[in-house]
Structure 1
Amino acid sequence: MHAAEAPAAPGSPLHTAQSRYLRHVTIERGLSHNTIQAYRRDLDAYVDHLAGAGVTSPDAITAADVTAFVHELRDRGEESLATSSTARMLSSVRGFHRFLLEEGLVAADVAADARPPKLASRLPKAISIDQMAALLATTDGDDEKSLRDKALLELLYATGARISEAVDLNVDDIINSAGEGAADVVRLFGKGGKQRLVPLGSFARAALDAYLVRSRPLLSARGASTPALFLGVRGSRLSRQNAWLIIRARAEQAKIGVDVSPHTFRHSFATHLLEGGADVRVVQELLGHSSVATTQIYTLVTADTLRDMYTQAHPRAR
C-alpha cells in the first residue's frame, strides 16, 4: 500500500459490499478456503486503492478507477506484480463488479471492459521418470520421517493430487476396494469441494501401509487426536508449507539439477500418463479438471518431447 492510500473504513458502503460478495462466493459457489482468502487479499488491495482515491461507495466507482488500479499494480517499480498476479487480481475485481450489478448496487458494470495483461504461454514443468525415481528414492529409510515423506511423495506422484488436497486428506479417505486384486483408491476433494476417486498404484499403497502402521502412530502420540492422514512432528496435521519444505529438501537431496515444487508432481503425473498412452479425458478426470482444454496443455509437453527425440534420433531430421 502506498503512503497516499488509506484503508477503507470497516463500516463504509464499499467495505460492506465487499463482505457481501465474499459471503456470496463462499456460500453460493462453494469455493475452497484458500481461494476465498485469495479473493479477500485481492479485494482488500482494490478497496484500499479506491479509498485512497476518495471512493467509498460502489456507485461512485468509475471505469477510470479500475484502469488506475491496474496501472498501479504494474507501476510499483521493484514491487510490481507479475503479469499472472495482475491478471488474477483483475479477475477478482471483475467478479466483484459483476456481483454489484447483479445485486442492483450499481447501475453499470464499470469493470466489464477491463482486460487483463496477456499471459505468456507457459508449459507445465515435468521431470523425467528417472528423475522422479531418484527423488522418491531419497525417502528410503525406516525412521518415522522417511516413512511419512515416502507416503506423501508416492501419493502425490501416484494421484496427481494438488498439495492442498493431499494435506487435507483424512485416514478414512484412503479406501480399500472390495475384491481380490482390486486397486485401492484415494478420495480427493478438489476446487469447490468437488470429489473424485483416484486409483493408488502398488508403490503408493505399500508406502502408505508402511506409514500408517509404523510411523503415523508414533507421530499421532505427540499431539491431540486428529483424523488427518499426514502428520507433522508434533502430531498435528501437516501444513502445506511444511509439505513444500519436505519436497524441496528431498529434491535437493536427489541432486537432479532442476527446481521441484509440489506442482511438479502433478505435472509429471499427467505428462507421464499421456506419454504412456492414457486418453486425455481419463487424465482430465484424474486431475479433477472441469474442462478438457485445461488438460490438453499437457499434450503439448509430450509433443515437444517427441519432437526432441525425433530430431536427435532420425538421420534426416536435421
Structure 2
Amino acid sequence: MKDQLKDFTHYLLVEKGLAKNTLVSYQRDLKHYIQFLENVEELKSLNDVKRINIVQFLGYLKDQNKSSKTIARHVASIRSFHQFLLRDKVTDQDPSVHLDSPQMERTLPKVLSLEEVEALLEAPNDSTPLGLRDKAMLEILYATGIRVSELIGLQIDDVHLTMGFVRCIGKGNKERIIPIGKTAINVLENYLENGRQKLRSKKHHDDSLFLNHHGKGLSRQGFWKILKGLSIEARIEKKLTPHTLRHSFATHLLENGADLRAVQEMLGHADISTTQIYTHVTKTRLKDVYSQFHPRA
C-alpha cells in the first residue's frame, strides 16, 4: 500500500503539478488512511477495500474529535487516491464512489479593523534593514491580499514598481497580476534601496524579494514568528494569522464598494462562492455598527 502511495505522490507532483503544501496534505491524510487499513485483518491489498472500510476510517477520525473540515479534506484525498488506483488498473473498483463528505461548518474569517491594520503596519522599526523588510512585507500583504506562500515566493523580477503591480504564482501554478498603491510602492522602494541591499549575502546569490538575516529567502515559519512579534508590538488582541491580512484586504475592498468579481480575481479564487463569504463578513460588521450606534437598536 505504501508503494502505491509513493506512485500517487509522484503523479500529483509531476502530472498534476500540485503545490508543495497541497502535496504534503495529501501525503499526511493518506498515511493515516493506509495505517488504518493495514490494521484491518481481511484486507490483503487495496483492491480488497470496500466502502464500509472507508466509512469506518471516517468514523475513527470523528472519534478522534477531528473537525468536519479535516474529515472533508481526508475524503477528498481518499477519493483522488482511489480514482488514481482505478485509472492505473491497480484496482478494479472504486470504493469511494458515492461517498458523502461531512457538512462543513462555515465560519466567518476574522478580520482586522482599519485602526488595527494601521497599528500593525506602523509596528516595524523602519530604521533597520529587517524593519524595512517587515514593513514592506506587511504593506504588500495588505495591498494585494496574496497568500503568505505567494509572498515569500516573490522574486525581485515579480515586482514592477513603475507600472504599479505585482506578479505572483498561486495555487496550481496559476499566474495573476495584482495592482499595488502608492503607499506600498514607496515602502517597497525604500526596502529595496536601503534594506535588501544590506541583507544580501556575499557568499551566495538569492533573487528572493524578501531575505532573512542570512541573505536567504524568508521561510513561512520565519514570517510567522515576525508576525507574532509585530502583533504584540501593535497590541492587537485578536488572534492574528498570516491569512488575517488577506481576509482584511478582501473585506475592506468590498466594504468600500469593490466589485466581487474583481476581488475574486485578485485573490485568485477559482470559484466565486469562495469569495462570497466576505460579503457575509461585511453584513455582519454592518449589523455590529448598527447595534452599537443606532439609538433604537
* Alignment TM-score, normalising by the size of structure 2: 0.94
Q: Does 1:66 align with 2:54?
A: yes
What is the DSSP-based 3-state SS (H/G/I as helix, E as strand, rest coil) of the residue aligned with 1:115? coil
Q: Could you say which residue in structure 1 is the equivalent of 2:223?
A: 243
| SS state at 1:260 partner | coil
Aligned to 2:139: 154
Distance in 2 (alpha carbons) for counterparts of 1:219 and 1:241:
18
**Does 2:252 align with 1:277?**
no
Q: Is 1:46 equivalent to 2:46 in the alignment?
A: no
Alignment match, 1:9: none
What amino acid sits opposite 1:64 in the alignment? I
Counterpart Cα distance in 1 of 2:28 and 2:157: 33
Alpha-carbon shift at residue 297 of structure 1 (Å): 0.6
Q: Pick which of 207-216 and 115-124 moved more.
A: 115-124
Give identity over the alignment, percent. 39
Q: Give, in angstroms, the shift of residue 314 of structure 1.
A: 3.4
Which has the higher mean CA deviation after the structures are superposed, 106-115 or 258-267?
A: 106-115
Structure 2 counterpart of 1:27, which letter?
Answer: V
Alignment of 1:1-318 (within 5 A): 14-54=1-41, 55-76=43-64, 80-177=65-162, 183-221=163-201, 224-316=204-296, 318=297
Q: Tell me, yes or no, if the aligned pair for 2:201 and 2:216 is still in contact at 8 Å.
A: no
| AA at the equivalent of 1:72 | Y
Give the distance between the partners of 1:236 and 1:39, measured in 2 at CA: 28
For residues 95 and 15 of structure 1, what CA distance do their matches in structure 2 show?
A: 16
Q: Which has the higher contact order (CA 8 A, sep 6+)?
A: 2
* Count of paired positions: 296
CA offset digits 1:35-64 (Å, max 9, x no partner): 111111111121122122243422111112
**Amino acid of the residue matched to residue 88 of structure 1?**
R
**Native 8 Å contact 2:161 2:185 kept in 1:** no
Does structure 2 retain, via aligned residues, the 8 Å contact 1:222–1:234? no
Q: Distance in 2 between matches of 1:116 and 1:229?
A: 40
Q: Matched residue of 1:124: which SS?
A: coil
Tell me which stretches of 4 or more aligned residues in structure 1 moved more than 6 Å: none
Q: Mark the CA change 1:176 to 1:102 in structure 2 (over 3 Å): closer, same or farther.
A: same
Bigger Cα displacement from structure 2, 168-177 vs 288-297: 168-177
- C-alpha deviation, 1:300, in angstroms: 0.5
Report the Cα distance in structure 2 between the residues aligned to 1:116 and 1:292, rounded to whole angstroms: 21
Q: Is the contact made by 1:289 and 1:295 (CA closer than 8 Å) also made in structure 2?
A: yes
How far apart are 1:116 and its partner, in Å?
Answer: 2.8
* Aligned-partner SS, 2:177: strand
Letter in 2 for 1:310: Y
Query: Are residues 96 and 184 of structure 1, via their aligned partners in 2, closer, same or farther at CA, if it must alter by over 3 Å?
Result: same
Cα deviation for residue 214 of structure 1 reads 1.0
For the residues of structure 1 that align with 2:202 and 2:220, how far apart are their CA atoms? Answer: 20
Alpha-carbon distance change, 235 to 250 in structure 1, aligned in 2, over 3 angstroms: same
Using the size of structure 1 for normalisation, the TM-score is 0.88
Contact 1:134/1:254 (8 A) holds in 2: yes
Gaps of 5+ in 2: none
Q: Which runs of 5+ in 1 are unaligned?
A: 1-13, 178-182
Alignment partners' CA distance in 1, 2:127 and 2:51: 61
